[in-house]
């Protein structure tokens, strides 16, 4: 089964249980260039109750520059969106947030020192084994420009062998926990930056070290301990005093 790829040379301290499933990509040790895979099975998933479709969504959105706010059980994560640098990626992400696509999902992959990853509606069902395998059915044109710094928000994608243009996943995204020069070289589209709530991101990453965490084919999966209760857009002016992630 084809899977979205995140190349990770800077992976740190991943639990050895992440490689327990021989069908999944092994977690590379620090300094390794072994790729980490992210699922992409084309499988529909139910939307949460009361979800609104992207088409025909209400146009009464806040004026001016916006941020995306992810309310998680570990705290709020506020993401500034880079429309000028990644307009197509941001437009798609904003559409999904407005349609409640991410509500009720969770971050299904946590790798301390590297990133946390989410965006899969399969996480709403009772089977964690298919987490990371949902494919929304389209990709977004590659907009690879910005560096991977701590708090950078980027899209997953399929590997170069089957995706030479490096187009982005239409729904899955990840948040960098530290600068990732390997991802700069590998070519992944950064479209946003966490400006508040990195403590929540770090808390989700730490769940990977819980001895009882579910070990999926993609590695540690915090499941509902990393639940996204709600995602919505808000004016940047409400959060503009927030500084760079620490």
Asked if the model's pLDDT at residue 164 lies above 90, the reply is yes
Whether 125 shows a pLDDT value over 80: the answer reads yes
Residue 204 has pLDDT above 80, yes or no: yes
Asked if 107 and 216 touch (Cβ cutoff 8 Å), the reply is no
Residues with Cβ < 8 Å from 10, sequence gap 6 or more?
Answer: 30, 113, 114, 178, 179, 180, 181, 182, 183
Contact between 123 and 221 (Cβ < 8 Å): no
Residues 6+ apart with CB under 8 A from 167: 139, 140, 141, 142, 157, 158
Tell me the pTM.
0.76
**Residue percentage of the chain with pLDDT more than 90:** 66
pLDDT of residue 242: 56
5 vs 135 pLDDT, higher one: 135
- Binning pLDDT at 50, 70 and 90, where does residue 243 land? low
Q: Is the predicted pLDDT of residue 174 greater than 80, yes or no?
A: yes
Residue 238 has a CB neighbour count (10 Å cut-off) of: 13
Average pLDDT over residues 87-104: 98
Q: How many CB atoms lie within 10 A of CB 66?
A: 23
Grade residue 119 by pLDDT with cuts at 50, 70 and 90: very high
Q: Does residue 246 register a pLDDT over 80?
A: no
The pLDDT assigned to 44 comes to 43
pLDDT-derived band at 160 (thresholds 50, 70, 90) equals: very high
Lowest mean pLDDT among 10-19, 69-78, 132-141: 10-19
Q: What average pLDDT does the segment 43-49 reach?
A: 45
* Cβ-based neighbour number of residue 217 at 10 Å: 23
Give tens-digit pLDDT for 47-83: 444 444 343 333 334 457 999 999 999 999 999 999 9
- Segment 13-22 shows an average pLDDT of 32
Residue 218: pLDDT above 50? yes
pLDDT of residue 163: 94
């Amino acid at each position: 089964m084809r899977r979205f790829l995140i190349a990770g040379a800077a992976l740190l301290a991943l639990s050895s249980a992440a490689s327990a499933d021989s069908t999944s990509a092994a977690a590379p040790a620090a300094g390794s260039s072994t790729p980490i895979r992210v699922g992409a099975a084309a499988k529909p998933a139910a939307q949460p109750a009361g979800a609104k479709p992207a088409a025909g969504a209400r146009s009464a959105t806040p004026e001016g520059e916006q941020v995306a706010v992810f309310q998680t059980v570990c705290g709020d994560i506020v993401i500034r969106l880079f429309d000028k640098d990644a307009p197509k990626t941001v437009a798609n992400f904003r559409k999904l947030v407005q349609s409640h696509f991410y509500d009720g999902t969770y971050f299904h992959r946590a790798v301390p020192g590297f990133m946390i990853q989410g965006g899969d509606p399969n996480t709403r069902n009772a089977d964690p084994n298919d987490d990371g395998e949902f494919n929304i059915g389209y990709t977004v044109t590659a907009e690879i420009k910005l560096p991977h710094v701590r708090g950078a928000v980027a899209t997953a994608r399929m590997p170069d062998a089957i995706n030479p243009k490096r187009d982005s996943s239409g729904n899955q995204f990840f948040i960098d926990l530290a600068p990732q020069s390997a991802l700069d070289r590998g070519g992944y589209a950064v479209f946003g930056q966490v400006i508040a709530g990195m403590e929540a991101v770090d808390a989700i990453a730490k769940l990977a070290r819980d001895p009882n965490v579910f070990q999926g084919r993609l590695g540690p999966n915090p499941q509902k301990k990393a639940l996204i209760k709600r995602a919505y857009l808000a004016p940047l002016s409400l959060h503009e005093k927030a500084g760079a992630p620490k």
